[in-house]
Amino acid sequence: MQKELVRANAANAELRGCRNDRWYPRFHIAAPAGWINDPNGISHFNGRYHVFFQHYPYSSTWGPMHWGHVSSEDMVTWRREPIAFAPSTEADLDGVYSGSAFEHRGRLEVFYTGHRWFADRGEAREVQCRAVSEDGVSFEKLGVVIDAPEGIGDFRDPKVWRIGEIWHMVVAARSLENRGQVWLYTSTDLQNWTFEGVLFEDPDPNVFMLECPDFFPLGEHWVLLYGPMGTAPRGFVNRNAHNSGYVVGNWAPGQAFEPLTEYLPLDWGHNFYAPQSFEAPDGRRIVYAWMGHFERPIPPQLTDGWSGQLTVPRELTLNPDLRVRSQPIAELERLRADSTAVGTLKLEVNEERLLLADADAVEIELSLDLAATTAERVGLRVHETPDGTHTFVGYDAITHRVVLDRRLTGQGDRGHRAAPAGGGENLRLRILVDRGSIEVFVNGGEAAISSFSFPNEGPRSVTISSEAGTAAVDQLTIHTLRSIWPAE
């Protein structure tokens, strides 16, 4: 193994020894220790699913990027693999940045961005690089395939896919006029790439970069997914330091992309960025995203030796109204260890009921009859510890939205997020609670909210409450969830 990788794996193992697990995920992909950001190279190869991620194995802060790696037969339980890439070449000495992977002729092909930073000039140089693997675990770097265009510093995150005999690649670029663009390249041999033009430019002149572009067919249309940099908050949208969303449109090879929607969020939570999708062997479009924060340290980063996790895998489908629906892949139900059907409930005015005294990793399915509910807010206090701190997840009748409220959360950032509650009289929530995060899926994935939530010391209870009115719960089921790491 290359000496940089030996050193990185050894450092990671040493840091692992200092990890504190109070918030370490049970059913989300995370590094054994250290920092992670974007999911990379999600693929199926040699009978296993592979997920890589941006990783700094030496400490829990961002640093020269490596690619961490895990693999799985079923996307339910995972095996940790050695770190796949470390900075080692002239092109990637300051970071092996994000990219994609796919199987081709019995090998795993990887395209990533080689990052260089020249502090004296305050300039980045980013190029697209290729690597291959025979076994999916150790890789040979094949060098630069697309050089940095003259004057373009931000040029990264290649996502490659195939149509017939032609390979296509989208890359994010900051144009000479400081506009956020997605560039399209094609190739017939994966080595020589031709620039086809600008596939998309964000209409907002303040947006200067569209990180991690992903472009794929869904239903009868094409979806362009990206992380616009330079956005300002707009009501409930773009509230985060880094936001991601999508545009749905029409496209065919050789033609211009014709957007049919405005930019829409794929997730309304605090911590959802750099989503990357892949096509599973059965044709499903599945996405993972990063839950993290670039601008402010999260609590485990300060004290626990790790930072960042991925979301659960979500299957994407397209609704007739051109909204992308995302819900946990069906396989995740296999994580359920014990299930308790609480059934129907009628909560009186201001009633509270303890559901779980100590929830480590749970999934809660809650269905509300809104027509028979008069409460202003009805929902769950999760991650509630004996000192009373908690995170609230539920329905807010005043705004007719589903809220995730961290005003009284134990540790970390505060604030709330609110997603549309849909048009029906029945509201279905599926809530995945891990040790340091919460993901909420509304009405079968019409909307999702993914946020960190770091509880204080002590058992973590779950309580259902109805505020200033009654609540009619049609169905309530609680599942405890297993770990995705059988060996740990």
Contacts to ligand FRU by CB under 6 A: 37-38, 54, 65, 97-98, 113, 156-157, 211-212, 273-274
Residue 157 CB, nearest approach to ligand FRU (Å):
5
38 counts as catalytic:
yes
* Active-site position among 38, 157, 202, 214: 38
Tell me how far, at minimum, the Cβ of 131 lies from ligand FRU, in Å: 15
Whichever of 97 and 395 has its CB closer to ligand FRU, that residue is 97
Cβ distance to ligand FRU smaller for residue 68 or 436: 68
Q: Which is nearer to ligand FRU, 207 or 355 (CB)?
A: 207
Between 65 and 169, CB nearer to ligand FRU: 65
Counting beta carbons within 10 angstroms of the beta carbon of residue 17, is it exposed (0 to 12), middle (13 to 18) or buried (19 or more)?
exposed
Closest approach of ligand FRU to the CB of residue 113, in Å: 5
Q: Which two tokens stand for residue 336?
A: 């359920």
CB closer to ligand FRU, 100 vs 409:
100
In whole angstroms, the minimum distance from the beta carbon of 296 to ligand FRU comes to 15
Of 210 and 484, nearer to ligand FRU (C-beta) is 210
Q: In whole angstroms, how close is the CB of 198 to ligand FRU at the nearest point?
A: 18
Nearest to 225 by CA among 154, 286, 284: 286
Find the distance separating the first CA and the last CA of the chain, reported in whole Å: 25
Q: What angle do CA 132, 47, 67 make, to 5 degrees?
A: 40
Structure tokens at 392: 């609230």
Residue 91 CB, nearest distance to ligand FRU (Å)? 14
**Site of tokens 């096509």:** 279
Residue 274 CB, nearest approach to ligand FRU (Å): 4
Buried b (16+ CB within 10 A) or exposed e, 279-309: bbeeeebbbbbbbbbeeeebbbbeebbbbbb
211/439 with CB nearer ligand FRU:
211
* Least Cβ distance, residue 435 to ligand FRU (angstroms): 23
Q: Do 369 and 378 touch, CB atoms closer than 8 A?
A: no
Q: What is the 3-state secondary structure of the chain?
A: CCHHHHHHHHHHHHHHCCCCCCCCCCCCCCCCCEEEEEEEEEEEECCEEEEEEEEECCCCCCCCEEEEEEEECCCCCCEEEEEEECCCCCCCCCEEEEEEEEEECCEEEEEEEEEEEECCCCEEEEEEEEEEECCCCCCEEEEEEECCCCCCCCEEEEEEEEECCEEEEEEEEECCCCCEEEEEEEECCCCCCEEEEEEEECCCCCCCEEEEEEEEEECCEEEEEEEEECCCCECCECCCCCCCEEEEEECCCCCCCEECCCCEECCCCCCCEEEEEEECCCCCEEEEEEECCCCCCCHHHHHCCEECEECCCEEEEECCCCCEEEEECHHHHHHEEEEEECCCEEECCCCEEEEECCCCCEEEEEEEEHHHCCCCEEEEEEEECCCCCCEEEEEECCCCEEEEECCCCCECCCCEEEEECCCCCEEEEEEEECCCEEEEEECCCCEEEEEECECCCCCCEEEEEEECCCEEEEEEEEEEECCCCCCC
Q: Which is nearer to ligand FRU, 25 or 114 (CB)?
A: 114
Nearer to ligand FRU, 249 or 275 (CB): 275
Indicate which residues carry an active-site annotation.
38
